[in-house]
Chains A and B, each alone.
Chain A
């Protein structure tokens, strides 16, 4: 598999792994294509993402995109975070192999689900 150096870096040393015990929002998304799963936890302060953590069961691309997503989202306004797409994440990782593009949905979708859960409260 031809992964970029950034993907390999985020895969080998993922940022923001873990859970937030009293999170303001939690989003879990499964990937129907291959059966993988990502959970994103957020804490919100003044309309911004003040803390973010994730857990992933999936391939190297799934782990790297989740890690990059949390890094990009940290400090963002909720609106900006909601507007973040899987392509933004893939671009920030210098691209993903075509067959792995579907994996990048996991993290972005889980982040959006976490924000929506927070907004619905």
Chain B
């Protein structure tokens, strides 16, 4: 079972490196371009983060609204939100984005106004639909005994939700919400396709002006996203801890 890890023989490594002089040239090019690429990509960070923050705010909002609507007693409300959730979960984000950006203006004769709005709306609606299932599932999975104890204390439906069910359900949602935050970060890269000047957009511009810089450019773009993702990764782990304990604060 235990696999043996064999490092290449030092002699072999030297031979490999001596194979091609262009290797050194390539390495030099890559490193010398970092200095040029870095500041350009930096310009896109702001847009990426703005889109992420707005998408997250609206995404969570939609998730809570839709998740609660799907638990409501009102049949029409339930069916309607069910339809929203299935449509947005059943189609691709990129299709939704293009649809909102290109098709909406044709269908209703008005523009969403900006690519920022279309981008944020697409990401928020899409992930809101996915996360509404988490909201719904978490609320349903709070033990029945909790509702009963709250009823025995004569709490109203609203009070049971507010003091007993919701606080416990939210703790269960946290790790998933963290995971989806990272998914949303990845999704923000799509807004470059509708002309927003995010990190990837600037990367694409650089690449189109100098094809040989592509490796540096895209590797750095990936690193940029990863650096933004890192705090979110740790946040998610933290949330996992909180949710495991069930008792935060």
Answer yes or no: do A and B interact.
no
Chain A: residues with CB nearer than 8 A to chain B? none
- Chain B interface (Cβ < 8 Å from any Cβ of A): none
